[in-house]
A and B are shown apart, each in its own frame.
Chain A
């Protein structure tokens, strides 16, 4: 009798795989995963998203870097994600070291462990990854027998709260400097150099590299930073972000790895551009990814076809910060609609401005009866929308909603923020009033016999968290109590509306927002709190079911770190921020000008209307060098 192969070559025995939720998270072997002979590569790199598999597998950045690294013949790049709490417990009890998915080899044996930092609330998961891998949590305790730990991604634009856990941060877009870094690694190893000599040379020679251990921070009596300087000559005072100026020739995965178990993003993702022209003053992505760089239409058409073929996915989604601003959007969407109709692929179009064009497209690609329409006014009044430089006017919202209602939609989602700078009770009431007006508009525009069931408005508020490299980096953040009071006020205002029965109001947890606020603008001293909280059992803080605010508060108290210092305090013009040593392209003078304009509720035109001199033009490309509207030539 010929029996199939059931020998377990995995890091986890059958007994464990059969006792945990979704064992497919830990077996690797997915379609399009890359396998190489470890004997025939020089560098083993493992890329980590410090959250559960289904979240991590949905992240585009890792797929891009995985593609790039594995195109290098001398490198094998693998993946690892946070084990879920069930497996976490077992691995600790049985002392099973964390392993990479492809080879199932221990992470500890790799040359590099790259961790992507997409949101602040994953910070304890970083410690979990290091801990389970058997890598000392603090960079200073590591020897040559463990991987170089590199951080990257948006949170590395203020890496200070997690600086002691990393050997190196790669600041900016990953496509440009890794080759140089890897060559340096090989060279250093061949010359008999150790970990420290590699890190020192990386900081000096490779652009975009920040080695926290090579910098010294001193503080004033009031706790603010007095100086932030390199400890030795040759190490740059300012680290400038890396950026890809030609996205058309940058590596992009035509065959991304496909999860067996359902990933959050179970579709082909087509990145159409990077950066955003809008300059909303609360938005970090809108600043740090400047300038806007578009991909050519031909590149996108070719990539879309190749990806659909290479994955067999049944849905394609456009990825960008503001798809409506892509110059060839109509042509791209026409092309996709045609291709997708043939191939029976669904199109999903997030981050589109609601107007006649987008409604027409959405009406064609989605089931109007099932889908809802999303607006992000962010603030309830025109005054406050001017403060945050959100170009959306009430007129535009109502116009869009009227068109949508006429087109058969009857469900509208609205996103707002509470706690924005200069916010008053009137602004908050504006949220409820806007919702009410939209309901009234439905009754006005849609005759009774044409109504698709009752109109439904869902208004959601999140709490505003000031982020580094935004004009609001100087702004005080609300306390937990202020947040809750504002949410209460919003709820009350919604209840006062004539059409309140048709409006549903949701608000976010305040506790998590407070912590996110500390980590967003924190300095190196915050790291001890993160370490302490982890030791107390904090993990998966981005998950409501595992978040333990009480443990976090205790950790802050034990470390004698004041939350209010990092959140509620208003910063002065001269203050040195923990992230000032980074150069993300936009300069502080521009951000300060924007902060002052915000306080006067003055809007600023977007990059295509008129240049605001943010500084990103120094990268020599993108929107900064397009012909301006109305300008000659």
Chain B
């Protein structure tokens, strides 16, 4: 059975990289006594995939990992056992079973199904917030073109990120937005934030903002009518 695990990453664990998180879970699953399925071959390894890697320094409330298990009790049991072996900085938020693949249809991995992600950006410094910027969000989104320098393998190119910004607002002092996170059009949250700061005429000291990934979404609609749902909702409790 394929299982989708949603977890958060925060505190000092903001400073461990994506590969470190993978290594952490390989060991954590074994400590938790979860009956993970292994690949066959001479050096078997756990069947495990991650959705979108999180940048260094970011917090998240919506990280995803898919594993395959050979035996299981319940979502609740697996969640409890995994949580028991996690240090401060990683919390297991949900454990759900993914439906068996329909015959003749390709199984879509966590990574491939990512369509969008939402972020909150807040000031690290106490007392500062985006509260005054509420009015500016309309104007920002009204722009037809928002230029940003995107790093590619060939170098940096100027791209228009406006079409990839689906929502942007100020909420509880945080700048909150929903952007394209698909493999073809992924927009780094820093690009949106910098463009907004630029638009608002604000300057922030280096590393003065904390980025928090809130959720990762898949698209269950059609090309004309997208319907974004959190990755976790593709699974069911068991």
- Chain A residues within CB distance 8 Å of chain B: 1, 3-10, 14-15, 17-18, 22-24, 26-31, 258, 260-262, 266, 308-314, 343-344, 346, 367
Additional 13 contacts, C-beta under 8 A, given A7-B11, A308-B30:
A1-B172, A4-B11, A5-B11, A6-B212, A17-B57, A18-B15, A29-B11, A29-B88, A310-B31, A312-B27, A313-B30, A314-B30, A344-B44
**Known contacts A29-B88, A260-B20, A310-B31; A10/B174 CB under 8 A:** no
- Check if B100 is an interface residue, CB within 8 A of chain A: no
CB of B212 within 8 A of CB of A314, answer no
CB of A14 within 8 A of CB of B57, answer yes
* CB interface residues, B 20-76, toward A, < 8 Å: 20, 23-24, 26-32, 38, 42-44, 56-57, 59-61
CB of A29 within 8 A of CB of B12, answer yes
Which of B14, B26, B124, B171 counts the most A-chain CB atoms under 10 A from its CB? B14
Residues of A within 8 A of B38 (CB): 344
CB of A1 within 8 A of CB of B8, answer no
A346 to B45, CA, bound (A): 11
CB distance from B124 to the nearest CB of A (A): 7
Residues of A within 8 A of B176 (CB): 1
CB of A14 within 8 A of CB of B207, answer yes
CB of B122 within 8 A of CB of A3, answer yes
CB distance from A231 to the nearest CB of B (A): 48
- Check if B17 is an interface residue, CB within 8 A of chain A: yes
- Check if B210 is an interface residue, CB within 8 A of chain A: yes
CB of A1 within 8 A of CB of B17, answer no
Residues of A within 8 A of B89 (CB): 29
State which of A6, A27, A28, A30 has its C-beta within 8 Å of the C-beta of B124.
A6
A7 to B212, CA, bound (A): 13
State which of A4, A9, A27, A367 has its C-beta within 8 Å of the C-beta of B212.
A4
CB of B20 within 8 A of CB of A261, answer yes
- Check if B165 is an interface residue, CB within 8 A of chain A: no
Residue interface mask B118-131, A partner, CB < 8 A = 1: 00101010000000
Residue of B nearest to A313 (CB): B27
> Interface of chain A, helix or strand or loop or mixed?
loop
Residues of A within 8 A of B174 (CB): 1, 3
CB distance from A96 to the nearest CB of B (A): 16
- Check if B106 is an interface residue, CB within 8 A of chain A: no
Residue interface mask B169-186, A partner, CB < 8 A = 1: 001101010000000000
- Chain B residues within CB distance 8 Å of chain A: 8-17, 19-20, 23-24, 26-32, 38, 42-44, 56-57, 59-61, 85, 87-89, 120, 122, 124, 171-172, 174, 176, 206-207, 210, 212
**Known contacts A3-B174, A4-B59, A24-B15; A18/B27 CB under 8 A:** no
CB distance from A18 to the nearest CB of B (A): 5
**Known contacts A14-B207, A260-B23, A346-B43; A6/B28 CB under 8 A:** no
CB distance from A505 to the nearest CB of B (A): 30
Residues of B within 8 A of A258 (CB): 27
A30 to B27, CA, bound (A): 12
Interchain Cβ contacts under 8 Å between A and B, 19 examples = A1-B120, A1-B176, A3-B59, A3-B61, A4-B9, A4-B10, A4-B11, A4-B59, A6-B11, A7-B11, A9-B12, A27-B16, A29-B13, A260-B16, A262-B20, A311-B27, A312-B29, A312-B32, A346-B43
A261 to B9, CA, bound (A): 16
CB of B24 within 8 A of CB of A14, answer no
Residue of B nearest to A15 (CB): B207
Residues of B within 8 A of A18 (CB): 15, 56-57, 207
Which of A1, A7, A18, A309 counts the most B-chain CB atoms under 10 A from its CB? A1
CB of A17 within 8 A of CB of B15, answer yes
CB distance from A617 to the nearest CB of B (A): 43
Residue of A nearest to B42 (CB): A367
Residues of B within 8 A of A5 (CB): 10-11
CB of A312 within 8 A of CB of B30, answer yes
CB of A6 within 8 A of CB of B14, answer yes
Residues of B within 8 A of A7 (CB): 11
A314 to B56, CA, bound (A): 26
CB of A23 within 8 A of CB of B212, answer no
CB of A23 within 8 A of CB of B15, answer yes
CB of A14 within 8 A of CB of B56, answer no
A472 to B77, CA, bound (A): 62
CB of B20 within 8 A of CB of A24, answer yes
CB distance from A264 to the nearest CB of B (A): 14
Residues of A within 8 A of B207 (CB): 14-15, 18
**Known contacts A1-B120, A3-B122; A24/B16 CB under 8 A:** yes
Query: Closest 7 CB pairs between A and B?
Result: A312-B27, A312-B30, A4-B10, A312-B31, A23-B15, A260-B20, A27-B12
CB distance from A12 to the nearest CB of B (A): 9
A98 to B61, CA, bound (A): 32
A31 to B32, CA, bound (A): 13
A14 to B13, CA, bound (A): 12
CB distance from B131 to the nearest CB of A (A): 13
**Known contacts A4-B10, A344-B38; A314/B206 CB under 8 A:** no
**Known contacts A17-B15, A260-B20, A261-B16; A309/B124 CB under 8 A:** no
CB of B24 within 8 A of CB of A31, answer yes
